[in-house]
Structure formats: structure tokens, C-alpha cells
Amino acid sequence: MPHVPRPSPARLAAPADAVRRAAREHLGARDHADGTLRYRASEVAGDYEVVLDVRPAGDVSVVAARADGSLGIPFFGWAFRPLAGVALRRNQEHALATLRHALEGAPRAAPVRPVLGLPPVAFAPDQARLLATAAAALAVVTFGGALFGQFADPVSESFAASDAQLGVALAVTRLGALASLVVAAFADRRGRRRSILVGVVGSAVACAVSAVAPTLELFTAAQVLQRACMNATAIVAGIAVVEEAPEGARAYAASMLALAGGFGFSFAVVALPFADLGPEGWRIPYAAGAATVLLVPRIARHLGETARYRALVERDDVARGRFRELLGRRYGRRFLLLAIVGFLTNLFNAPSSQLMNKYLQDERGFSSSGVALFRGVTTALPGLVGLLVGGRVAELRGRKPVALAALLAATVMQVVFFLRGGGLIWVMSAGAVLAASAAGIALATLDAELFPTEVRGTSNGLLLVVSVLGSVTGLVLAGALSDPLGGLGRAIALCGVAGLLAACFVPALPETGSRALDEISPSERRTGHGPRAAGA
């Protein structure tokens, strides 16, 4: 339990029995066996309760408020305990203010203010546990998947590869999207949990092969597997947390998952100084990625299947994983719009992200340690703020406004980053990361919300394939234009036109904010079949 400073006991001008009645009536408190009154704390995760200890003191009563309970979040409990402490303190102050209003005529207590970083809607313990565990799985595979982009330059030097060969290798790894499509479709037929575990194990295997690969060809083959595992885990984990999140917190769940992915990415950035140890120093982080297989038993222990998928399995009137449903009247237009947006955004995002370190080293004179410092400063905090604010605003204002504004802002700032030098690149990179994080949350939530449970994995897998085609196009295009345009920076900046075009298609998408998931994307029953059990 987090350390929560207790507010000073309140002295109320009322008998203890009157205080107890007011607590039951105005706070929904219930009597407990130890003589206290308790009620569920609001605006905080876990099973916390506000505990009121009422003691008579002559003609007045002394009321002490405290919190009791546990967070119940595996892997990331350390990050949420300080936030929970703030929320619990506010709950205690609200309880005492409410009693003063009821008994002494003091001003009405304001509602408990939400804490940025905590969900806008309470998660049940099972929901919080699934979200945290899926996030841990994604952090693990993102670490392994981000290493190639971070160590592209030392890897190419180790294998004596040219810029063109490196660009081809990076592009070839995108073929892993085809394998991740299989895993995503498997998630529709056999469940989310199994697919996530397959991704975590496969990521560790790919890291192990990469760490000892003697040739660029074998290394690239291992990275195809790595990319497949990272993409598949990201897709299925994203689907799982959106399916399991309570209504009103789906974008929040997606933002927490993305935050975990950024956490894993940050570890890959922090590992950059290993490249300065020698020509083969880049292999050390890959060995660390292989060791993540030791986390699989714990992830498996905490990771459950989503309630929505379990309900779907009980039905015999819905076919799972049908491609045909994505081409039908209800979902075909949604799929086409999302595919266009995904292709165009990744045509710019892929070279911008994958080749940034090489650009900084070759054209701006950064060392590996300098790149680590730059990426740490311009990525960690801005990305965190973008995810938290983007998730919150997407819940309050809708997905489309956030996606449109943030996508435009991120593209413009990133283009300026690649065209200008000096201190401006620090500001532009940080701003682009913040905006891109917010846009990514809104679009990722739409990807999961706009399709029904039975094809959510298949649809997102196909969208990934289209996005990867955009990534491959962008990487090859940036590499091919590098020499004619006089450097990577100008070539990547030219690809930014695609990001601006992508924003033009966002307004045509349906808005999903403030709507129930089954209302947005209901399952389509097969003709001649009746449901065995309710709801999917």
C-alpha cells in the first residue's frame, strides 16, 4: 500500500451516531466489524477503501480518515503507487469535507479530482491485472524489437554493409508482418492469451540468434522473426486491453499499453553506449533480450483471457476470424480508411524512426552516447506526456479530433527536425514525439474499436500488413533518395508529405468516444444459428 499522509482528524459538532448516519447517507459507507465505516475509494485503481474512525469526544465527534487496501497491479505497481497515494489523500479530504457540509453547513465538497495517470473509470482487479501483464509482455518484446533501429549503424559496420544494404535489411525485416498476421488471426480463433505468450517467447529466441549471428543474412532472418513477434504482441495486447477495459477507459488502456512499449523502447536507447565498447558491443543488448525468456512463467501466471473473448467462445452463431466480414458493407469502408491512414503514416514514420540515429551520427556528428542522451531527453518525458494527455483527451473529446490535430503537428515538427540543425532539433524532436504519441493512441484505439470481437485480431493483423508496406516503401524511398537529395535528412523530410496526406482521411472515420464497444462494432450472426450464451 502506498504511503498516504493522513489528514488531521476532524472535530465535528455532532454526536457520533449522527456522524455515522451522515457517512452512510452521503458517502455510501457501511459498518465494519472493527467499528469503522468503509466505502470504495473513487478515482483510484485497486481495491482501496476509505476508512472512517468515529470517536465521541464530549459534545463533538473526532473523525479520522485513512485508506486501506492494495493496488493489485503486477509488474508496474511501483509506478502507480505514488499516483494512488495522491488519489487516496484526495478521497480522505473529500470524506471529511462531505461530513462537514452535512453536519455543520460548510460549503459542499467538490468531487474528488482525478489524478493524471490513473484511469477515468475504475478497473476491476482482473481488468487491472490483465492490462498490467499485457503491458509487461509488450515492454519485453518492444525492447528486443527496438534494438535493430538503435544499433543500425554499428550493426552495419560489424557486417561491412553499405547504406543501401542496411536499408534493404531494415525493409526485409518488415516481412515479419506476414507472420504476425498469422498470429493475430490465431488470436481470433484460439484466444488472446496464447498469442501474447507466443510473441514473448519468439522475441527471446530472435534476440538469442541475433546476438550470435555471424552474417548479415542470418541476423536479418532473426530480425524478421523479431519483428513478427513484436508486431503480433502489440496487436493482440492492444486488442486485449481494449476488450477488457471498462467503458470510458478504452483509450486510457491503450495509452498505458503504449507507455509500456515506450518503456521497453527506452531500455533499448539506454543500451546504446554498449556500441562504444567495441565493434561487437551491440551484441550485448541482444543477449539481454534473450534472457527475457526468464520472465515468461511470471507473465503466463498473471495473464488471463479477456472476458469478451470468453463470452464469444460460448456462442455458435458467430464465426471467428473470417476475412469476408472485413469486406462487407458494415466494416469494409472502415477497413479501407484505416488502411490508407496506416500506409501513409508509416511511409514517413518508419524512416523517421529507424534511420534517426544514423542521421544524427552521420549528418549531425553525434556519438552513440550522444544519441542516447538526445533520444532520452527528447523521447522519454515528451512521450510520457503525449500518451497520458492523448489518452485522457481522447476519452473526453473523442478519437478523431486528437488524431487529426496531433498527426498534423507531429508531421510538421518532424519535417523541420530533419531539415534544420542546431538547438532547434531538440525542441522539434520533443514536440514531434509528444504529438505523435497522442495521435498514435487515438488511432490505435480506433483500430481495435471499429471491428467486432470475432475479427478484431484478423483486421488489425491485415492493417499491420498494409502499414508495413508503407514502412517498406518509406525505408526504400528514403535510402534511394539519400544520395540524390544530398543526405538522409532531406530524403526523410520529403516522406513527410505522406503524413500530411494521411491526416486528410481521418475525418471520414466514425467517432467511437463515449460509445459502448458492442454498439460501435456488434458481432454479426451467421444465418440459421442461435446464440448459446449472451453477448460477445
The C-alpha torsion from 376 through 378 and 384 to 387, rounded to 10°, is -130
- Among all chains, which residue has been given the C-alpha cell 538522409? 488
Determine contact, residues 103/13, Cβ cutoff 8 Å: yes
- The rounded percent of the chain whose pLDDT value lies above 70 is 94
Structure confidence by residue, pLDDT tens digits, 463-495:
988 998 898 899 889 988 888 888 889 999 999
Q: What is the DSSP string of 254-314?
A: HHHHHHHHHHHHHHHHHTGGGGGG-TTTTHHHHHHHHHGGGGHHHHHHH----HHHHHHHT
pLDDT the model gives residue 275: 86
- The residues pairing with 50 across neighbouring beta strands, listed in sequence order, are 39, 67
pLDDT the model gives residue 371: 85
pLDDT the model gives residue 317: 61
Structure confidence by residue, pLDDT tens digits, 107-142:
999 999 888 888 888 888 899 999 999 999 999 999
**Higher-confidence position of 483 and 94:** 94
Confidence check: pLDDT of 533 > 50: no
pLDDT the model gives residue 416: 94
Nearest to 342 by CA among 472, 490, 435, 160: 472
Determine contact, residues 83/118, Cβ cutoff 8 Å: yes
**Residue 175: helix, strand or coil by DSSP?**
coil
The average pLDDT across 18-30 equals 95
Q: How confident is the model at residue 507 (pLDDT cuts 50, 70, 90)?
A: very high
The average pLDDT across 492-514 equals 94
- Among all chains, which residue has been given the C-alpha cell 456462442? 315
pLDDT the model gives residue 529: 47
pLDDT the model gives residue 535: 36
The average pLDDT across 220-237 equals 92
pLDDT the model gives residue 121: 83
pLDDT the model gives residue 532: 41
Structure confidence by residue, pLDDT tens digits, 310-340:
888 887 666 665 666 677 777 889 999 999 9
- Name the DSSP class of 63: E
pLDDT the model gives residue 3: 58
Confidence check: pLDDT of 292 > 50: yes
- Among all chains, which residue has been given the C-alpha cell 447517507? 25
Mean pLDDT of the chain: 88
Q: Which fold has domain 125-518?
A: Growth Hormone; Chain: A; (1.20.1250)
User: Phi/psi class of residue 108: alpha, beta or left (left: φ > 0; alpha: ψ in -120 to 50)?
Assistant: beta
61-70, 228-237, 289-298, 453-462 — which is least confidently predicted?
453-462
The average pLDDT across 249-264 equals 90
Please enumerate in sequence order all residues whose Cβ is within 8 A of that of 392, keeping only pairs 6 or more positions apart, or say none: 116, 120, 251, 252, 255
Structure confidence by residue, pLDDT tens digits, 163-201:
778 778 877 887 777 778 888 888 888 889 999 999 999
**Residue 11: helix, strand or coil by DSSP?**
strand
- The rounded percent of the chain whose pLDDT value lies above 90 is 53
Cell numbers placing 530 = 442461435
37-51, 390-404, 515-529 — which is least confidently predicted?
515-529
In angstroms, the Cα distances linking 130 to 74, 84, 229, 320, 384 are 9, 18, 19, 22, 21
pTM of the model: 0.81
pLDDT the model gives residue 6: 62
